[in-house]
Copies of this chain bind each other. A is one copy, B any other.
Amino acid sequence: MAEVLSGITLKAIGIVRNGIRQPPKQGWGNVVSDIVVNSSLTEALDNLDEFSHIIVLYWMHQAATGQLPTKVHPMGNQKLPTVGLFASRSPNRPNPVGKATVRLLKRQGNLLKVEGLDAVDGTPVIDIKPYIPGYDSATDATVPSWITNK
């Protein structure tokens, strides 16, 4: 489906702990999770708590593998017409890397307590970045109606 990047390995820099095994029906907005970062990287978290929000990249290890459809129903809603896979946030993508913008509630050593991370317990975390308004946001962004009129 796409060319393999040879010689590249991904490293888990940490893991999500929230006791949640299935996506909650009411959504992830209020879910509080711990990101347990490898203790060898504790120092690399210094100053992160000077930001109110962080970006978490994680490996959606439960995503489907093998041949993927190029068209999907948005948000898994069968009532909506299919759209291109890359116009969706489906976890079943060529590289199942999730990206979440979450509130950082607390950092304590190698532990980050965050709110709103949409990842099940045991999800490997591959990167953490500070959220920078302006660079990471777009004030004039528009979306199609099938996103807003679920």
Copies of this chain, whole number: 2
Q: How far is the CB of A50 from chain B (nearest CB, A)?
A: 4
Contact, CB under 8 Å: B8 / A59: yes
A residues bordering B, Cβ < 8 Å? 1-5, 8-13, 38, 40-41, 43-48, 50-53, 55, 57, 59, 70-71, 83-89, 93-95, 97, 99, 101, 103, 124, 126-133, 135-138, 140-144, 147
Write out the residue numbers on chain B whose beta carbons fall within 8 Å of the beta carbon of A2.
Answer: 11-13, 38, 40-41
Q: How far is the CB of A128 from chain B (nearest CB, A)?
A: 4
Complex alpha-carbon distance, A84 and B37, angstroms: 13
Write out the residue numbers on chain B whose beta carbons fall within 8 Å of the beta carbon of A89.
Answer: 129-130, 132
Contact, CB under 8 Å: A140 / B52: yes
Contact among B3, B55, B143 with A99 in the assembled complex (CB-CB below 8 Å): B55
Contact, CB under 8 Å: B87 / A47: yes
Write out the residue numbers on chain B whose beta carbons fall within 8 Å of the beta carbon of A85.
Answer: 41, 44
Q: How far is the CB of A101 from chain B (nearest CB, A)?
A: 6
Q: How far is the CB of A82 from chain B (nearest CB, A)?
A: 9
Complex alpha-carbon distance, A41 and B94, angstroms: 10
Contact, CB under 8 Å: B95 / A13: yes
Knowing A47-B84, A71-B46, A101-B135, say if A59 contacts B5 (CB, 8 Å): yes
